[in-house]
Amino acid sequence: MVKARLALIPYPNSVEYTGGSIPAVSIDPEGASVTLCGLQDFAEDTAAEAYILHIGAEEIKIIAPQKIGVFYAKQTLQQLREAGGDVPCCKIFDQPRFAHRGFMLDVARHMTTIENTKKLIDALARMKMNVLHWHLTDDQGWRVPVEKYPRLIEVGSVRARSHFGQQKVDEPYGGFYTHDELREIVAYASARHITVIPELDIPGHMTCAIAAYPQFSCTEEQLEVGDHEGVYEDILCVGKDEVMQFVYDVLDAFCDIFPGEYFHIGGDEAPKKRWKACPHCQQRMKDNDLQNEEQLQGWFNKQVAAHLAQRGKKTVVWNEALKSGQMGDEVIAQSWFDPGRHAIRFANRGHAVIMSDNGSNYLDYPYGRIPLKKIYKYNPFRFGLTRKGRQSVLGVEAPSWAEYMRDFDRVCYMTFPRLCAVAENGWTRKKNYKDFRARAEQFVPQLVALGIYPALPGIWDPSPKTRAQETIDQAKGLYHTAMMMRHDEA
């Protein structure tokens, strides 16, 4: 039988052609017959998300163990319908390679409106992704009201200016989401089988909270909300009991809004300079027999993870939070930049990790640094992972940091189609770049119909010269300015 390819992203794991074809316009995802089956027909780890789909001339049948599989079968049908033409009759037997297929949206540096966030969620759902990691606080802005601490919004949600790299805007920037809006997003995502993982980045990246409550830092110096990129030296003083209480109160407030199983507490880029000089932090170390400041962060992580466990949550941390060497199953690690290979060793000990290596997954990096082909060829089974370590890889996630992304057009331009590659990395076992690229081009009109405008195909895989130039420009903080100009011209 002639091998036809289906216009699908991500590509299904098994397709058997049964002969003949039907016109795409005749496909009605909601009109398919649905039968629920047991989990036993599928490989264990992601069986709950599996589905079988029969596309026949007479009938379309979905068989799946759970509602989520039915939902994914319907996404497959929706994509085939929208791609148009004729669809070959076939039997699809499908389940994801990884359980965690995520996208991280940074709204601390620049916000994405609720309406536009829904468009992103629609795209995630269409591509069978199941996690929206929402980076809600950072040095440059606090976006979630907490009743006990009103100054987090009054002071912490607005910065006086935005000086990111070569982009300098000398006017205030701020905003926040109401609890109703946050819950609206959680519900919208949940209806599409997407979990929202909120991130409260602690103890570093807290300049906005310290600007609102200077007593929460070691020096108690009055700071401004962050106005530039990079790593800030002032972090939460974890030697003070009132700071621990603040953290627990905020965690509780977030837990009331976000019902999901996972909670991200950041833990990245927390310089220890202030802790070394702080009597409260040094006392905390003495009281708990801690040898150094990394262990103090380990102690802090453990307190926070225990608090979240009481609320029924699993705690996720960036790989730096593993440096204390004390973390175990109380956390899941997200690996982004890990020269010390802490996340690899952590996984090899059997603890869960999410792979987000910045050199292959950061959607805010220029296409010249991470072309579509590079992100597609990313192997989450990093060098050094043992068999046990590989089994500990929960999945893949692509972060999109927003220092340089001032509006939704730019988020879309940087994110798509590279996120399509991430979706396929998370789902499809046998991959082929040439074939994927063709399918990605076919997929563009579907994104546009969702209100998302991807980068033009000419940008996806830049020439070696452009790659070199954009990599240098990025290092100099120039890239985003040049990119904006090209983008505005297009």
Where does this chain bind Zn ion (CB under 5 A)? 218, 237, 239, 278, 280-281
In this structure, the number of other CB atoms found within 10 A of the CB of residue 174 comes to 18
Of 360, 283, 320, 314, give the one whose Cα is nearest residue 201.
Answer: 320
In this structure, the number of other CB atoms found within 10 A of the CB of residue 291 comes to 9
CA distance 210 to 213: 5
Contacts of residue 282, defined as CB under 8 A and 6 or more positions apart, other chains included, come to 239, 275, 276
Structure tokens at 229: 């990129």
- Residue 142's beta-bridge partner residues? 137
CA distance 410 to 420: 16
Closest CB 7 distance from Zn ion, rounded Å = 56
Closest CB 270 distance from Zn ion, rounded Å = 12
Nearer to Zn ion, 146 or 237 (CB): 237
In this structure, the number of other CB atoms found within 10 A of the CB of residue 283 comes to 12
Of 185, 205, 203, give the one whose Cα is nearest residue 194.
Answer: 185
Read off φ and ψ for residue 287, nearest 5 degrees.
-60, -25
Burial of 50 (C-beta count, 10 Å sphere; 0-12/13-18/19+): buried
Nearer to Zn ion, 106 or 293 (CB): 293
In this structure, the number of other CB atoms found within 10 A of the CB of residue 365 comes to 22
- Residue 22's beta-bridge partner residues? 87
Closest CB 249 distance from Zn ion, rounded Å = 19
Structure tokens at 338: 């890990």
Beta strand extents in 312-382 (DSSP E only): 314-318, 331-335, 353-355
Closest CB 269 distance from Zn ion, rounded Å = 17
Nearer to Zn ion, 73 or 206 (CB): 206
Q: Which residues are catalytic?
A: 138, 205, 269
Closest CB 278 distance from Zn ion, rounded Å = 3
Nearer to Zn ion, 87 or 218 (CB): 218
Of 188, 12, 48, give the one whose Cα is nearest residue 117.
Answer: 188
Contacts of residue 391, defined as CB under 8 A and 6 or more positions apart, other chains included, come to 350
Closest CB 246 distance from Zn ion, rounded Å = 13
Residue 415 to residues 143, 391, 490, Cα–Cα distance (Å): 22, 28, 16
Nearer to Zn ion, 126 or 274 (CB): 274
Nearer to Zn ion, 81 or 276 (CB): 276
Which H or E run includes 53? Answer: strand 51-55
Closest CB 202 distance from Zn ion, rounded Å = 13
